[in-house]
Amino acid sequence: MCMGGNDSAGAMRDQQQRQQNVLNAGQGQLDTIFGPKGGTIGTNLVDPTAGFSATQQYYNSLGAGVKGDDAKKLLDQGLLFGGSQQTAGFGQDFYNKRQQDYINYANPQLTQQFQQTNKNLDYSLTNAGLTNSQASNAGKSSLQTALAQQQQGVANQGLGQAQALQQQVGQEKNTLTNQLIASGNIGSGSTNALQAASQFGAPSPFAPVGNFFNTWTSLYGANQMANSYAQLNNPAMNPYLNNRVPSNSGALGNVASYR
């Protein structure tokens, strides 16, 4: 007759409860590390087989100090930590800062390129004797619009990087949660989470911004060429067009024939 069934079932129940506590505590740590407000978490998981001192200051998974019997209970559950660490979390301000960091990086370059392009436009208009003309207005309006569009592009690029970072952080938390579930090891989970969190805080290299006004300059230049061509075809601007005869007459046909 077997009367040991209660013992093994009780042991299994205890083990299951320990696993559940570890998972819940690990999830709490990950929520703290990757949450919007941050907080304190326990670090350096204490090995249950290592020496335990009832008078020593220990910490629970969320960084609260414990001693004595409370610490011993946590040790038995594999949830006792030797240290604690404050984490800043990943709030909206963190992602906004990433966006602003890119803007701070790209916007001065944009401004510098704009000033140079604006000067070139001024020189071009002055050389053509078109200062304060309708052509000047059109050119400057076009440049102002191009500037606004490039500024939007910079802001959008910053937003995209901030959102990509937000997705990376979320994905990293997801990966660490899966690792926690698979391993049931809160110690390695919190260590990996802190490492991942610190990597997100480090600056990452930005790609060069390139020439913001390259497209505008090309379009404006092409437009100027087109205008010149149009002026050649304008009878008011080109007296030679008055001698124009039908091209099928055999004489000088059109302006193309003069060039």
Partner 1 sequence: MLAGLGLSLVGTGLGVAAAQQDKNAMNSAVQQSLNEQAGYTKKANSAVQGNINQQTGDTARKQIATGAAQQSDLYKSLQSSKLQNQSSVAGMDPVTQARTEAFVDQQNRAGSQLAGYGNYATQSGLSNLEGNEQLGIIGTNAKNALDILPYQIQAAGHTGDKLAFAGTGLSTLGSLAGLFGVLNKLKAPGNTPAVNPNANAPQPNVGMIPMDSGYGVPGDPGFGTVPSYLKNFSSQMGGNPFLF
The token pair at 41 is 């978490």
Q: How far is the CB of 50 from partner 1 (least distance, A)?
A: 26
The token pair at 232 is 């050649």
Q: How far is the CB of 27 from partner 1 (least distance, A)?
A: 5
Q: How far is the CB of 14 from partner 1 (least distance, A)?
A: 10
Between 167 and 195, whose beta carbon lies closer to partner 1? Answer: 167
The token pair at 68 is 């004595």
CB 238 within 8 A of CB 228: no
Q: How far is CA 46 from CA 50, 52, 80, 153, 249, in A?
A: 7, 9, 6, 51, 102
Pick left, alpha or beta for residue 89 (phi over 0 → left; psi -120 to 50 → alpha; otherwise beta): left
Starting from the edge strand earliest in sequence, which strands make up the sheet with 39-45, in order?
39-45, 81-87, 58-59, 65-66
Between 46 and 176, whose beta carbon lies closer to partner 1? Answer: 176
Q: How far is the CB of 69 from partner 1 (least distance, A)?
A: 26
Q: How far is the CB of 113 from partner 1 (least distance, A)?
A: 9
Between 57 and 175, whose beta carbon lies closer to partner 1? Answer: 175
The most distant pair of C-alpha atoms in the chain lies apart, rounded to whole Å, by 126
What DSSP element (H or E) covers 256?
helix 255-258
Helix 214-232 with 92-127: angle, nearest 10 deg: 30
Report which residue type is found at 82: G
Taking the mean position of all CA atoms in its chain, how far away is CA 20?
35
Q: How far is the CB of 246 from partner 1 (least distance, A)?
A: 41
Between 11 and 225, whose beta carbon lies closer to partner 1? Answer: 11
Tally of CB atoms within 10 A around 85: 16
Helix 186-201 with 134-183: angle, nearest 10 deg: 170
The contact set with partner 1 (CB under 8 A) reads: 1-6, 8-10, 12-13, 15-16, 19-20, 23-24, 27, 30, 99, 103, 107-108, 110-111, 114-115, 118, 122, 131-132, 136-138, 140-141, 143-145, 147-149, 151-152, 154-156, 158-160, 163, 166-167, 170-171, 173-174, 177-178, 181
Q: How far is the CB of 91 from partner 1 (least distance, A)?
A: 13
Between 118 and 238, whose beta carbon lies closer to partner 1? Answer: 118
Between 55 and 132, whose beta carbon lies closer to partner 1? Answer: 132
Between 85 and 118, whose beta carbon lies closer to partner 1? Answer: 118
